[in-house]
Structure 1
Amino acid sequence: MKQNGDYHVHTPFCPHGSNDRLHQYIEKAIEKGLQEITFTEHAPLPHAFQDPTPDKDSAMNWDDMESYIQSIRDCQHAYKGDIKINLGFEVDYIEGYEKDITQFLSEYGPYIEDAILSVHMLKTPKNQYVCIDFSCDAFGDIIKQFGDIDIVYQKYYHTMEKAIQSDLGFYKPKRMGHINLIDKYQKVYTTKKSYQKEIYHLLDLIREKKMELDINTAGLYKEDCGDIYPPVDIIRFADQLDIPLISGSDSHTAKHIGRGFDQLPSHIPYSKPNSTKKS
């Protein structure tokens, strides 16, 4: 089944992305025949949270918020009639910072038309924080901090469960992002056990909370992953649970819009997201 749109797209406001302009992403989406696009820039991290990555580039800057919102509004006006453009964010769930995240969503929720809730940061046994997808070498260091790769995986899925169950207020994102992002380096670091049971449990919770699932093709192009987030068998199971499946490229450059959509299961019905904007 043809995807309606690309609902996980980054922008030049992303510190670890490209300098491609918004109009380049939009025109690539139109060229590919997409009806809709959601810009989901990494929302600024809580003021009190210290970005644990070496480059301090996990999310957009607070100072760019107004410019980001206005830039997308300008594009919505410029491309009206050509493609539907949604203003959104990819919001980090960070254990222990729920109040800060809720405050952000409460302030900016009225502007948000679509959003994703993701887990990139884990709290370590020493109550520090790490970013799980910065680099393969950094992931190796994370394993050392936790003492075992399976402890890292267990922590990740437990944090994902917390994210799904969390009360982040009226504007909590409805879609869970790349639920097995922890597999980004699976070809290098192999777990001793399977985590399919944990993923199935997350899907049950997502269904219970009436949330959506990010079907994210970026993992196909990560050399140490090589698979969709989540894999095809998980996508099929989620479809059986009637969870809305929302396609996203997680592109950080215009040329990657819609990349890998032709490798998604063709018999699965992909949905349009329900707007998070409240009337």
Structure 2
Amino acid sequence: MTKKDGHVHTPFCPHGTKDTLDMYIEQAIKEGFTDLTFTEHAPLPKGFIDPTPMRDSAMDYSLMEAYIQSVQKSKDEYKNDIQIHIGLEIDYIKDYEQEITDFLNEYGKFLDDSILSVHFLKINDKFFCMDFDEKTFGLMIHEAGSLYTLHSIYYTEVLQSIYSQLGVYKPKRIGHITLVNKFQKLYPATFSNLNMIEKILSSVKEQNLELDYNVAGLRKEYCGETYPNSEIITLAQKQKIPLIYGSDAHSARDVGKNYTHYDLLSNRD
């Protein structure tokens, strides 16, 4: 039986830990995983300027070769113990589809399994990293005019990512579709996003994509739930959309965290 963590970062992440690939892999083996996908933040599209203060959202282009070689080496070394997959977490950014496609055309042939995520939103001609911190999120609400409008902008972007034409190497899995809820304890929604969520799920199904069942939100102080939450997962299951557990680990200790949540959902009738 396959037990997979499909969303794991590495020491190549500039905002993560320096835990080695071996440390991540050994933790996965300890937790009984049969499969592990390393999905480091891919270099941001050429011409796009990272809006975070340290500009540390993603790997630099100069590290791509080393990243692929390092994961391939681990893949070979651990092949008798666990299946290692070379992957990336690709950022979908509006107006940069061609640059993303060019990147995927160059490196996609080396990838086994990847994720397409939305972290950056353009509001009034300015880009923000939505999940950077609560202060940035508050600024985004102010810039958008309301929390409702910000949610609408985010879910519209997720929908666009699903239909985006990024070439033959476009990722097959959509990352943490409710990341906009990361700070929900500080900025609770007093409205329903059900219509947008249903559109997103229908589109994922139509495009034969998978969903990242991401447990990182359980570890976030102002979130306290998975991305997406159990209610949305129920809707996804009704449409038989594949759900792939992802720890979104940025340190070895978080590999496999809260897997029981996924286990319970995947065993529901």
Quickly name the TM-score band, shorter chain normalised: over 0.9
Distance verdict in 2 for CA 1:64–1:6, change over 3 Å: same
Counterparts of 1:198 and 1:226, CA distance in 2: 22
1:86 alignment partner, SS class: strand
Offset of 1:147 from its aligned partner?
1.6
Q: Please list every run of at least 4 consecutive aligned residues from structure 1 whose deviation after the TM superposition is greater than 6 angstroms.
A: none
Give RMSD over aligned pairs. 1.3
Correspondences of 1:211-226 after superposition (within 5 Å): 211-226=209-224
SS of 1:18's partner is: coil
Residue type matched to 2:40 in 1? E
What residue number does 2:64 align with? Answer: 65
* Pair 36,237 (structure 1): closer, same or farther in 2 beyond 3 Å: same
| Equivalence for 1:22 | 21
Give me the whole-angstrom Cα distance separating, in 2, the residues matched to 1:210 and 1:257. 27
Q: Which amino acid aligns with 1:15?
A: P
- Which residue is equivalent to 1:121? 120
Supply the distance in 2 between the matched residues of 1:94 and 1:190 (Cα, whole angstroms).
25
Per the TM alignment, residue 269 of structure 1 is displaced from its structure 2 partner at its CA by: 5.5
Matches within 5 A, 1:71-220: 71-125=70-124, 127-220=125-218
Q: Which amino acid aligns with 2:26?
A: E
**Alpha carbons 1:232, 1:264 under 8 Å: kept:** no
SS in 1 for 2:7: strand
Unaligned runs of 5+ in 2: none
Question: Does structure 2 conserve the Cα–Cα contact (< 8 Å) formed by 1:245 and 1:269?
Answer: no
Structure 1 letter corresponding to 2:252? A
**Equivalent-residue separation in structure 2 for 1:225 and 1:178 (angstroms):** 13
- 1:229 equivalenced with 2:235 (yes/no): no
Post-superposition Cα deviations, 1:87-121, rounded to whole Å, max 9, x if no partner, equal 00000000000000000111101001000000000
For the structure 1 residues 239 and 57, does the alpha-carbon distance in structure 2 shift closer, same or farther, using more than 3 Å as the test?
A: same
Per-residue deviation, 1:265: 5.4
The residue number in structure 2 matching 1:266 is: 264
Would you say the 8 A contact 1:44–1:62 is kept in 2?
A: yes
**Cα distance, 1:137 vs. partner?**
1.0
Instruction: Provide the secondary structure at the position in 2 that maps to 1:215.
Output: strand
Contact 1:218 1:228 in 2 (8 A): yes
| Distance of 2:35 and 2:267 partners within structure 1 | 16
Cα distance in 2, alignment partners of residues 86 and 269 from structure 1? 25
Aligned residues: 268
For normalisation by structure 2, the TM-score amounts to: 0.97
Amino acid corresponding to residue 115 of structure 2 in structure 1: I
Q: What amino acid maps onto 2:148 in structure 1? A: D
Matched-pair identity in % = 47
* 1:77 Cα deviation from its structure 2 partner: 1.1
Q: Which amino acid aligns with 1:194?
A: S
Q: 1:33-52, aligned counterparts within 5 Å?
A: 33-52=32-51
Letter in 2 for 1:82: D
SS in 2 for 1:266: helix
Give the distance between the partners of 1:192 and 1:242, measured in 2 at CA: 29
Does the Cα contact within 8 Å between 1:38 and 1:86 map onto a contact in 2?
Answer: yes
